[in-house]
Chain A
Amino acid sequence: MTELFDMPSDLQHSYLGLVALHLREALIPVLAGLLVALPVAQLCVRVRWLYPPLLWVTTVLYAIPSLAFFVVLIDYTGLSETTVMIPLAVYSLVVLVPAIVDGVRSVPQETLAAATAMGFGPLRRYVQVQLPIAAPAIIAGLRVASVSSISLVSVGMLIGNEGALGNLLNSGLSYNQPRLVWLSVVGTAVLAVLVDALLVVLRLLVTPWMPRGNRKNTRTRAVKEAAR
């Protein structure tokens, strides 16, 4: 009699192990994307003419299918986790740069002038004024990036079982165990919803100054991000 969460031994992981692996494969790329996106976005805010062509490049990059991206990288990074994580990082970058640029640009001129008048240098002004005000937009971008990243990791199964929870799909088919497929789909969806909820909580924590009742603007931005 098999228990609900028993895993085939060829996966070499327990269910929770796969969940942890899935989170790692999905979220490290999002973090990497964020680390690159912050300076790139700041450059776009500073050098205005750079932004429109950059938007085109990101739209084109986003048009590359994940499976195609994975397989082209096999030649360079082999059948490994890295091969899955690089495309996910690129997709995150593509979602995050416009989100951050819009967020930082939405900081009112008066606010910036006030910060300068108070003697803030450029760096301090960026960290203490611009970033906090842009936080809702950045987190809206992070939500889209992490949810789609979590969903895309499963496709990594096709390139040498690097799909974490997605590997269960293959096992489910080959061992004729629908249970494993359910575990994969429900597990991935629950992870996505949980991470999304955590980011919403994070936004509430880092923006205590935002009126709770009237969150229309952030929502609007979040839905706009969702549409990308």
Chain B
Amino acid sequence: MNVLNYIGAFFDDSAHWQGYDGIPTRFAEHLQYTLTALGIAAAVGLPIGLLTGHTGRGGNALAMIATAARALPSFGLMVLLFILLGLGMTPVMVPLVVLAIPPILVTTYEAMRSVDPAPVDAARGMGMAETQILFRVELPMALPLILSGLRSAAIQIVSTATIAAYVSFGGLGRYIIDGLYQRDYEKVVGGATLVAGLALATLAVFWLLGRLAVSPGVRRRV
């Protein structure tokens, strides 16, 4: 049997489609972890990135924070927090948020810095206030890059949320970890396929988001 047979067998088994351990439940759990972590990371990363990018200060500090955050191993951090805090959502969320903040923060900063200064000067000359410049000139122009930062953060969260299953949580990682322990290879491969599929779906969602949200004028230039 090769991998494709395993995938087929996994998805053909109707037991995998219903109930507590069914694909819909696990999928919803996985999505919930991903969206929560992405939401928290964006709530922290976006404002700081926009503000530092607008003023052009603190770039070095951001790069250092990003390097430090990337050096923290997500899996180890999760197990450590699990030991320290016990069973709960925090040990899962903290590593996911730590993982997602660097790409969001750094790309947002770089996106704001790479905005063509001419329109910004023109806006200032027309008498726009700084907040207006930030939200009506710089943000729309920086949007494609900002979205790409959110996209890599989202993809990394989707793939890393699998490890939540190791500290007793649900999500698609449940199939991979249970399958490994039960020596049920079909389950492992099925879970892996689902996670990869969700990651690819995330790519598609962000591509669509870029189509809808980015102004046509900016898109042509990029």
Contact (A189, B189) CB under 8 Å given A64-B196, A71-B180, A196-B67 = no
Does A158 lie within 8 Å of B152, measured CB to CB?
Answer: no
Cβ of B2 under 8 Å from chain A: yes
The distance in angstroms between the C-alpha atoms of A156 and B3, with both chains bound, is 20
Determine whether the beta carbon of A60 is less than 8 Å from that of B203.
yes
The answer on a CB contact under 8 Å between A147 and B77 is no
Contact call B67/A60, Cβ cutoff below 8 A? no
Nearest-neighbour CB distance to chain A for B21, whole angstroms, equals 18
| Shortest distance from the beta carbon of A90 to any chain B beta carbon, whole Å | 13
Within 8 A of B (CB), among A62-119: 62-69, 71-72, 74-75
Question: B71, B75, B109, B159: which contacts A154 (Cβ < 8 A)?
Answer: B75
What is the chain A residue whose CB lies nearest that of B63? A223
Q: A60-B203, A154-B75, A158-B177 are in contact. Are A65 and B196 (CB under 8 A)?
A: yes
A9, B71: Cα distance in complex, Å: 28
User: CB-CB < 8 A to B110: which residues of A?
Assistant: 220, 223-224, 227
Chain B: minimal CB distance from A79 (Å): 10
Is A173 located at the chain interface by the 8 A CB criterion? yes
Chain A stretch 9-45: residues in CB contact (< 8 A) with chain B? none
Q: Report if A65-B203 is in contact (Cβ < 8 Å); known contacts: A185-B73, A223-B62, A226-B102.
A: no
B180 with A226: CB separation less than 8 A = no
CB distance from A70 to the nearest CB of B (A): 9
Docked complex Cα distance between A47 and B159 (Å): 33
Q: What is the interface size of chain B, counting residues whose CB is below 8 A from a CB of the partner? A: 56
Of B71, B74, B113, the residue contacting A147 (CB under 8 A) is B71
Q: B196 to A67, Cβ gap below 8 A?
A: no
> Do A63 and B59 touch (CB < 8 A)?
no
Q: How far is the CA of A196 from the CA of B70 in the complex (A)?
A: 11
A95 to B152 alpha-carbon distance, docked (Å): 12
CA of A224 to CA of B114, assembled, Å: 11
- From B62, B79, B176, give the contact of A172 (CB < 8 A): B79
A46: interface (CB < 8 Å): no
Count of A-B residue pairs with CB < 8 Å: 154
Once A68-B162, A147-B70, A192-B71 are accepted as A-B contacts, the answer to whether A75 and B2 lie under 8 Å apart by CB is yes
B72 proximal to A (CB < 8 A): yes
Q: How many whole Å from A224's CB to the nearest CB in chain B?
A: 6
Q: Please tell me if the beta carbons of A193 and B83 are within 8 angstroms of each other in the complex.
A: no
User: Is B169 an interface residue, CB under 8 A from the partner?
Assistant: no
CB contacts under 8 Å to A, within B51-101, are 59-60, 62-63, 66-68, 70-77, 79-80, 82-84
B1-13 contact mask (Cβ, 8 Å, vs A): 1 or 0: 0110000000000
Chain B residues near A192 (CB, 8 Å)?
Answer: 70-71, 73
Question: How does the 8 Å CB contact mask read for B196-208 relative to A, with 1 for contact and 0 for none?
Answer: 1001101100000
Which parts of A172-228 form the interface with B (CB within 8 Å)? 172-173, 178, 181-182, 184-185, 188-189, 192-193, 196, 219-220, 222-224, 226-228
A sample of 14 inter-chain contacts (CB < 8 A) reads A63-B158, A65-B162, A68-B192, A72-B3, A74-B185, A155-B75, A158-B180, A185-B79, A188-B73, A193-B68, A223-B109, A224-B106, A224-B110, A226-B106
* A-B contacts besides A68-B196, A151-B71, 19 pairs, CB < 8 Å: A60-B200, A65-B160, A65-B195, A68-B159, A69-B192, A71-B176, A148-B70, A154-B73, A154-B76, A169-B75, A188-B76, A192-B73, A193-B71, A219-B59, A219-B60, A223-B62, A224-B106, A226-B102, A226-B103
